[in-house]
Amino acid sequence: MSHIAIIGAGRVGSTVAYTLIIKNIAERISLVDVNQDRCEGEVLDLKDVLAFSTTKEVAVATYAEARTADIIVICAGFAQQPGQTRPELLAKNKTIIADIMRNLNPINSNAIVIMVTNPVDVLTYVAHENTALPQKQVIGSGTLLDMQRLQHALAREFAVDPSLVETLIMGEHGDSQCVIWSQTRIEGKPADQLLARERHVGLAETTRKTAYTIIEKKCATYYGVASCVAELCSIILNDKKSVVPVVTYLPAFGLCMSIPVVLGRAGVLEQRLPPLAAEEHTCLAQSAKNLRKLLHS
Ligand code: NAD
């Protein structure tokens, strides 16, 4: 029976569970949270979705149960508060993630861990440091979310179906993310030929700020990221070997950030760094520098 465990049944974790169920992605979903009441409430609510899904079971679980899952999604911890710095947020969530990874040991040796908690790039690295799993089996939900935001913005701009827009965002899931314009095409035509330079900057800025805008209006984001996590779970469980940007360990940089990878049931099968323009190389190096600074803050 395909089994996905979700650690952290808050807004993001419970929406991930709902999306997995409604999209028939796994037969069994387990939820773990330090807040037992919240977790039980979410599970009772989610059980009412099972009638409309092929998912057979959703339950509150212990770490002993969660560590046997095929995929373990980590959404536990705090979101950034107004006025809180990223090093402050990292300090709080780092302890939580290190504890969770230790609680998951001994982990199913075939499990794939998907980090969602922010700052996701650095916390994917923390997860690596606290597990026996190989690096290819620990990934993070990174710039896939940003990439689909830009893809849809470009589709609106050119009044075409989003499937006709190819784009890519790499690096940090956050302020220093890099739009790879050299890999961006609308109906097969290079974006460089279709869009003025100022429009590149404007679209990249709007994409980067989307999460801030949502948080300003409703205090949190969860639908978009839950859909991305559900997509990653579907790719993994069905061994689709799709090319998607995820947070992965990059030996050349000595840290984790998003680049396109071939993803399948065994995790990251191959890292696919595309050819980059000089300014895109510079952007990626700057993103890595920012993440390194945060990692050692
Ligand atoms: P939330 O406060 O609604 O939920 C967090 C949950 O974690 C709570 O239920 C809490 O009880 C639980 N928790 C805390 N410590 C725990 C522990 N040690 N073990 C188990 N559970 C624990 O927060 P949220 O809105 O769901 O956000 C969760 C995280 O996801 C935040 O860090 C947020 O920034 C991040 N996030 C990431 C992305 C992304 O794209 N990667 C997008 C949105 C949110």
Pocket test for ligand 1, best of 16, 72, 74, 75 (most atoms within 8 A of CB): 75
Q: What is the pTM of this model?
A: 0.97
Distance CA 159, CA 101 (A): 45
Looking at residue 198, its pLDDT comes to 87
> Does residue 13 contact residue 6 with C-beta atoms inside 8 Å?
yes
Distance CA 6, CA 21 (A): 13
Q: What is the DSSP string of 45-78?
A: HHHTTGGGSS--EEEE--HHHHTTSSEEEE--SP
Looking at residue 192, its pLDDT comes to 87
Looking at residue 66, its pLDDT comes to 98
CA of 222, closest atom in ligand 1: 43
Q: Which residue, among 76, 211, 200, 90, has the nearest Cα to 146 in the 3D structure?
A: 211
> Does residue 37 contact residue 248 with C-beta atoms inside 8 Å?
no
Looking at residue 13, its pLDDT comes to 98
Catalytic residue among 3, 173, 281, 296: 173
Distance 90 CA to ligand 1 centre (A): 13
Among protein residues, the one with the nearest Cα to ligand 1's atom 8 is: 10
Q: pLDDT tens string for the chain (297 positions)?
A: 999 999 999 999 999 999 999 999 999 999 999 999 999 999 999 999 999 999 999 999 999 999 999 999 999 999 887 777 788 899 999 999 999 999 999 999 999 999 999 999 999 999 999 999 999 999 999 999 999 999 999 999 999 999 999 999 999 999 999 999 999 999 999 998 998 888 888 999 999 999 889 988 998 999 999 999 999 999 999 999 999 999 999 999 999 999 999 999 999 999 999 999 999 999 999 999 999 999 988
Looking at residue 222, its pLDDT comes to 96
As for ligand 1, residues whose beta carbon falls within 6 Å of it are: 7-13, 32-35, 38, 75-79, 96, 99-100, 116-118, 120, 141, 145, 173, 220-222, 225
Pocket test for ligand 1, best of 6, 7, 11, 12 (most atoms within 8 A of CB): 12
> Does residue 100 contact residue 76 with C-beta atoms inside 8 Å?
yes
Looking at residue 65, its pLDDT comes to 98
